């Protein structure tokens, strides 16, 4: 990391206030952003990942570092970190060229010590170092290029950089010269998919929720990303995470732990043991389905798994034993059936 000196230091109280203000800005811009919500992370070292989780094969991490002599690869655009439209607070100046009485702030970021520089997906924000009369820290500049040269009057500022869900913040002091600042963003990419046996689950039928840390750690935690679709790339700080995978909207749920490495894209395939079941209420075997039928799918213990109304409801169920209860014109009919992993099928309940 490039060494640098600061003649200005934020007090803990002012620094905390700035973080609150920046969190409020990010929250205000995330209303129309799906599926993830950006958060700040601490600098604590990541926990040691647990042992291998059964039935959750993870592909080898894809090294995002370029071969010797090549430029750094471009990570996909982050699915969070929306831009903020801010009118320029200062007169425009040629990029990287300081006008009389002004200084240049040259910014770069890398995935970590001895790792390549980040060449896409960055959002840089420069804030005033002191709150205004309303208590807010004014946003002075915003830039979405990888290595911006920002022209500013000499003075003290606070610089924030975000890459997906990873971020870093630092106070800087500019003089009438070029000040170079390099940030370490130890982030990696996570790409998920679901499978039943050897078959890939269609993206629209499966979603993922991501939590920081291991599933075996105690305490309730808010997710860092929700409703992440299959094939999407999520950029997160390196460390251990656990995934909750929902195949359909019934009871096919898988939890698994993963480890993300800085500067690498990790592909994870989550295996579900389930099948797609279509229900029919018929007057006789092989007959036409009766309309306006209310359905309940329950376990042998009586727990309700899924309720629906229709002639051909489809439900994705984890393998196991169930009872299908059909109600039609004031009469109740039922049948016990088994779900076998990967074997989609049709269950007929005969109305007699």
Question: What pLDDT sits at residue 176?
Answer: 85
Question: What pLDDT sits at residue 36?
Answer: 34
Quote the distance between the C-alpha of residue 75 and its chain's center: 15
Beta pairing, strands 166-174 & 274-282:
unpaired
Question: What pLDDT sits at residue 352?
Answer: 86
Element (H, E) at 181: strand 178-184
Beta-bridge mates of residue 244: 209, 255
Compute the average pLDDT of residues 169-175: 96
- Asked if residue 40 has pLDDT above 60, the reply is no
- High-pLDDT (> 70) share of the chain, %: 72
Rg value, the chain, Cα? 27
How far is the C-alpha of 116 from the C-alpha of 109, rounded, in Å? Answer: 9
The tens digit of pLDDT for each residue in 281-297 reads: 999 999 999 999 999 99
Average pLDDT of the chain is: 80
- Asked if residue 99 has pLDDT above 90, the reply is no
Quote the distance between the C-alpha of residue 55 and its chain's center: 22
Beta-bridge mates of residue 150: 105
Question: What pLDDT sits at residue 319?
Answer: 98
**Helix (H/G/I), strand (E/B), else coil: 18:** helix
**Helix (H/G/I), strand (E/B), else coil: 24:** helix
Compute the average pLDDT of residues 123-149: 95
The tens digit of pLDDT for each residue in 298-333 reads: 999 999 999 999 999 999 999 999 999 999 999 999
Compute the average pLDDT of residues 151-174: 96
How confident is residue 35, by pLDDT bands cut at 50, 70 and 90?
very low
How confident is residue 89, by pLDDT bands cut at 50, 70 and 90?
very low
Sheet containing 331-339, strands listed edge to edge, beginning at the edge strand earlier in sequence:
304-309, 294-298, 320-328, 331-339
pTM of the shown model: 0.70
How far is the C-alpha of 281 from the C-alpha of 96, rounded, in Å? Answer: 72
Compute the average pLDDT of residues 9-16: 46
The tens digit of pLDDT for each residue in 189-225 reads: 999 999 999 999 999 999 999 999 999 998 889 999 9
């Amino acid at each position: 990391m490039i060494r640098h000196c600061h003649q200005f230091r934020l007090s803990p109280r002012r620094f905390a206030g700035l973080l609150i203000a920046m969190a409020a800005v990010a929250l205000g811009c995330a209303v129309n952003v799906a599926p993830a919500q950006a958060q700040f992370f601490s600098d604590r070292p990541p926990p040691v990942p647990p042992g291998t989780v059964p039935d959750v094969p993870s592909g080898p991490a894809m090294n995002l570092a370029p071969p010797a002599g090549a430029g750094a690869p471009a990570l996909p655009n982050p699915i969070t970190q929306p831009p903020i439209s801010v009118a320029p607070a200062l007169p425009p100046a040629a990029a990287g060229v300081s006008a009389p009485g002004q200084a240049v702030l040259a910014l770069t970021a890398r995935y970590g010590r001895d790792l390549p520089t980040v060449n896409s997906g960055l959002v840089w924000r420069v804030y005033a170092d002191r709150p205004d009369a309303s208590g807010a820290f004014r946003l002075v500049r915003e830039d979405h290029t990888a290595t911006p040269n920002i022209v500013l009057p000499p003075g003290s500022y606070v610089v924030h950089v975000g890459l997906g869900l990873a971020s870093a913040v630092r106070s800087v002091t500019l003089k009438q010269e070029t000040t170079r600042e390099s940030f370490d963003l130890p982030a990696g990419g996570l790409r998920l998919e679901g499978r039943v046996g050897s078959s890939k689950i269609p993206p629209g039928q499966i979603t993922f929720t991501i939590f920081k840390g291991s599933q075996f750690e105690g305490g309730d935690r808010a997710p860092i990303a929700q409703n992440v679709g299959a094939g999407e790339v999520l950029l997160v700080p390196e460390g251990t995470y656990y995934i909750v995978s929902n195949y359909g909207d019934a009871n096919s749920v898988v939890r698994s732990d993963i480890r993300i490495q800085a500067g690498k894209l990790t592909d994870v395939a989550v295996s579900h043991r389930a099948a797609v079941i279509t229900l029919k209420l018929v007057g006789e075997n092989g007959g036409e389905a009766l309309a306006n039928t209310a359905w309940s799918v329950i376990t042998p213990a009586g727990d309700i798994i899924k309720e629906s109304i229709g002639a051909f409801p489809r439900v994705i169920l984890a393998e196991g034993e169930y009872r299908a209860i059909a109600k039609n014109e004031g009469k109740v009919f039922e049948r016990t059936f088994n779900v076998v992993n990967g074997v989609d099928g049709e269950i007929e309940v005969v109305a007699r």
